[in-house]
Amino acid sequence: MRIDELDTPVLDCDLDVLERNIQQTADLCRRLGIPLRVHSKSHKIPEIAHWQMDAGATGICCQKVGEAEVMVAAGIRDILIPYNIVGAAKVDRLLRLARRATMTVAVDSLETAQGLSAGAAQIAGRVRVLIELDTGGRRCGVQSPAAAQDLARQIVGLPGVDLQGVLTYPSRREAKPFLDETVARLRQDGIAVHVVSGGGTGHEAISQEIGCTETRSGSYIWEGLTRVHGRDDLDSNRCPLRVVTTVVSVPAPGRVIVDGGMKTFTSYPPIPYGLCLEYPELHIVGMSVEHGHIDSRASTHRFRVGERLSFIPLHGGLTTNLHDKMVGVRGEQVEVVWEVAGRGKIR
Ligand SMILES: Cc1ncc(COP(=O)(O)O)c(C=O)c1O
């Protein structure tokens, strides 16, 4: 089947570009000598995770237990969830996964660690944990090396919980003193630190520089609009993801409406929402739930109802999560249709 025979809106992916992106980051990490743990939240497709592992990734990340269930069912056997897993229902699912795969999770409080320990006692299970450090990202994480040491001392006494080390996000040079002091404090206490996990696409070399034992990268596979600083430096040859739409109305000169809105592209701010490949001069200026509003005044082209327009979406991970399927294409030919098996797995 050819790509222009697919009904729209449809999410498609240029497999040659995807393959190149996967290989380039794998090669970069190999050259740097830092293990790469890929974050599957960017695609939520088990086949892509396997592809990344085959290229050299040592494991994957999932942000939620539900995503990890999908990946373990698909045969992935080493998963880090860099997220505090809170509540008996989730902990139980996590512990059951930990019987079938190596599962590691983040903790930044005694409550979270105790919850894991209580869940482990229920099913005689074990889970590995990393203490999350807030080294400047200002999301989760303990606030100082002393707080990390304090938490570590309490975690080592908890049954069913194996403290493996620490994690932070994103890797920044300024984080090094925080990481070094934390590792030193834990080692002074006789606590082995096997893992120092850093991350962020584009931060792989920094992870290596600041002494991480692995780096977590996710969005490198899409290199979407959020990864470039303005339209001019966008190299569409590095962006495999496209939303293909159809023009459903040309209501007035200078205005074009396509059949994808927030439920197709996400409403993630700010505009431009996406870059049109056929007519880069177009601006998506707004989104209704199911309509995309385009300002076409900068274009000399006369748009017609029924015409197809393809966009590189602003945020690959958010856009992927809205679609049941992703179509893999080479040139104009459809090669594979993937189920986005982890989509919507927010628990
Ligand atoms: C905890 C954590 N690690 C790693 C990543 C991957 O970052 P990136 O998508 O920039 O590669 C993310 C992304 O948000 C994250 O939240």
pLDDT along the chain (347 residues), means of 10: 96 96 97 98 98 98 98 98 98 97 98 98 96 97 98 97 98 98 98 98 97 97 66 68 97 98 83 84 93 97 98 90 97 97 97
CA 189 to chain centroid: 34
Domain positions in the chain: 15-223, 229-314
List beta partners, residue 81: 105
Nearest CA to ligand 1 atom 16: 169
What are the angstrom distances between the C-alpha of 334 and each of 11, 13, 169, 177, 286?
12, 10, 37, 50, 30
Measured CA to CA, the distance from residue 49 to residue 55 in angstroms comes to 10
Nearest CA, atom 5, ligand 1: 200
Taking a C-beta distance cutoff of 8 angstroms, is the pair 144, 111 a contact? no
DSSP H or E run through 205: helix 204-209
pLDDT at 229: 43
pLDDT at 236: 67
R_g (Cα) of the chain, nearest Å: 22
CA angle 316, 86, 174 (to 5 degrees): 60
What SS3 class is residue 191? coil
Of 204, 225, 167, the residue nearest 38 (C-alpha): 204
Neighbour tally for 156: CB within 10 Å: 15
What ligand 1 atom has the least distance to the C-alpha of 220?
11
43 ligand 1 Cβ < 6 A = no
Per-residue CA distances from 228 to 28, 170, 272, 279, 298 (Å): 19, 17, 12, 19, 22
Q: For residues 108 and 151, is the Cβ–Cβ distance under 8 A?
A: yes
**Ligand 1 mean position to 117 CA, how many Å?**
26
What's the CATH code, domain 15-223?
A: 3.20.20.10
- Distance from C-alpha of 41 to C-alpha of 320, rounded to nearest angstrom: 9
From CA 97, how far away is CA 79, in angstroms rounded?
10
Tokens of 178: 């925080």
* CATH number for the segment(s) 229-314: 2.40.37.20
Q: Residue written as tokens 């493996």?
A: 164
- CB of 117 shorter than 6 A to ligand 1: no
Burial of 137 (0-12, 13-18, 19+ CB in 10 A): middle
Ligand 1 contacts CB of residue 219 (under 6 A): yes
| Ligand 1 pocket test target in 63, 216, 223 with most atoms within 8 Å of CB | 216
What is the reported pLDDT for 235?
Answer: 63
Residue 180: phi and psi, rounded to 5, are: -60, -45
Ligand 1 lined by 8 (C-beta under 6 Å): no
